[in-house]
Chains A and B, each alone.
Chain A
Amino acid sequence: QMQLQQSGPGLLKPSQTLLLTCAISGDSVSTDSATWNWIRQSPSRGLEWLGRTYLKSTWSYDYATSVKSRMTIHPDTSKNQFSLQLKSVTPEDTAVYFCSRAGRNAPHGLDVWGQGTTVTVSS
């Protein structure tokens, strides 16, 4: 059964860098049949898609305009995981962050989700 397991800190101070990891079991980050996504959810912004990575000959990356200048996704084939790095966080980045898979069994449907990580940015 395919699973995504998230890890990472839940409390940061403004200007720090958020690093979250999503470990994949039951699939491969290197598959050409899926994309690997990060989504966040907050009361003020609702569900917000943040970015994705996928392998199509070479690694590709897409980022939401709202975070593009601060966000990087790193696929790690040796550990079969992918991570989110978000620099210079502010209180507006306070949210529950989810990793998710799209595409293998449901075209453009996010069919497997991590358990979520509550991230709070506060001084």
Chain B
Amino acid sequence: QSALTQPASVSGSPGQSITISCTGTSSDIGSYIYVSWYQQHPGKAPKLMIYEVSSRPSGVSDRFSGSKSDNTASLTISGLQAEDEADYYCSSYTGTTTPYVFGTGTKVTVL
């Protein structure tokens, strides 16, 4: 199972919106609604931000939203804030005995 493809970096100014793409295949993103997004600050564990393509866990800001089309998922951060500067990873369920594949990661910089 190959890693999902994400852009290495995305940047934006405070208040702007940015979108991170995550490209997989018809065997993972294209086949399941179980796409998740994680935020990771340096030295910390990943934090679940989005699950099932577009659902937010309790406590996650509604500035974070997710979507999916065919084999590509996207995470949009609206009203960008300094605290959003972090690495972001997507993940998809695969339906196999290796159930989860992660993306390559995107570094978000707030200018």
In angstroms, how far is the closest chain A Cβ from the Cβ of B30?
A: 15
CB of B104 closer than 8 Å to a CB of A: yes
Q: Are A108 and B51 in contact (CB under 8 A)?
A: yes
Q: Are A48 and B36 in contact (CB under 8 A)?
A: no
List 20 additional A-B contacts (Cβ < 8 Å) besides A49-B100, A63-B97.
Answer: A46-B102, A46-B105, A47-B105, A49-B98, A52-B99, A62-B98, A64-B98, A105-B58, A106-B51, A106-B55, A106-B57, A108-B34, A108-B93, A109-B48, A109-B57, A110-B46, A110-B48, A113-B45, A116-B44, A116-B45
Chain B residues packing against A (C-beta within 8 Å): 3, 32, 34, 36, 38, 44-48, 51-52, 55, 57-58, 89, 91, 93, 97-105
Chain A residues packing against B (C-beta within 8 Å): 37, 46-49, 52, 62-65, 98, 102, 105-111, 113-116
